[in-house]
Amino acid sequence: MGERKDARDEEFQSFMIGRWPRLLRTAFLLTGEQHAAEDLVQTTLEQVFVAWRRVGSADDPEAYTRRVMINAHARRHRRKLKEFLAPKDDSGLVREVPDTGDRIAQADDRSALLRALAQLPPRQREAVVLRYWEDLTETQTAQAMGCSVGTVKSNAAKGIAKLRAIPGLADMVTQGGRN
């Protein structure tokens, strides 16, 4: 029994070491800050470790880990005293068609994108990061966010529309490495 537990711990450790860089990058996009990202990933992995006996033998421990991370991220933004259901900058943008043929200019520094991401509500930010950084399908994103595919579509479209509308981001000049 002790040996099995040691083997499980080792398996978790190798999972953690292998996924650490990717999880940290995703967390960085979610939180916008290095220390907050490390904290989020560490909290996530602690929870995954607790459930590892079950998770490790499951088909897709990575999907489980993502779900835990998104939940942990959502929880940090959940404790609100006032919920803004329709932020001022929502008007007009939500009806914008995502693809009108023009191109988003590339940010010449990372802070422009991070500032833009920080202006998105948490659920839109999660949808954008999971869809366009993690490259998950809508269904996988819905599973990670614990919501319907329709909600993912809506949040991702709103997020993209808002990012495009932020002058600091849209004004950046498209660089060569865009293909």
Partner 1 sequence: MSADRKNHDMTQAEADIALLLADATDGVEIGTAPVQAVLRGGRRRRTRRWAVATATAVVVLAGSAGATLAVTGLPGEHRAQVAHQVSDVTVPQVSELAHGTDQGKRWRVVLSVWAAPRDRAEAAEQLKAMRKFGIDGGALPRLDELVGKTSHYTGLYYGDEPLRPIMFDTVTKWEKLTGHELESAGVPLTEEDGEGANRLVVGMVASTARLVECTFDNGTSHFARPTTAAGSPVSWYVCLAPQGVRPKTAEVVK
Instruction: Considering only residues 104 through 143, tell me which ones interact with partner 1, judged by CB under 8 A.
Output: 104-107, 110, 113-114, 117, 128-129, 131-135, 137, 139, 142-143
Tokens at residue 170, please?
Answer: 């849209």
Q: Are 131 and 141 in contact (CB under 8 A)?
A: yes
Residue keyed to tokens 């988003």: 104
- Residue 36 in the binding site for partner 1 (CB under 8 A): no
- Per-residue string for binding with partner 1, 136-175, x by CB under 8 A? -x-x--xx--xxxxxxx-x---x-x--xx----x----x-
Q: Quick check: 1 binds partner 1 (CB under 8 A)?
A: no
- Tell which residue, 122, 15, 23, has the closest CA to residue 76: 122
CA proximity to 127, closest of 92, 97, 162, 155: 155
Tokens of 36: 């907050």
Task: Report in angstroms how near the CB of residue 26 gets to partner 1 at its nearest.
Answer: 8
Window 46-85: residues binding partner 1 (CB under 8 A): 46-47, 49-50, 54-55, 58-59, 63-64, 67, 71, 75, 78-85
Q: How far is the CB of 76 from partner 1 (least distance, A)?
A: 11
Q: How many residues bind partner 1, per CB under 8 A?
A: 84
Please, what is the minimum distance in Å from the beta carbon of residue 64 to partner 1? 7
CB 104 within 8 A of CB 163: yes
Listed in sequence order, the residues at least 6 apart from 162 whose beta carbon sits closer than 8 Å to its beta carbon are: 89, 93, 116, 119, 120, 124
Residue 108 CB, nearest approach to partner 1 (Å) = 10
A 10 A CB-CB count for 119 gives 17
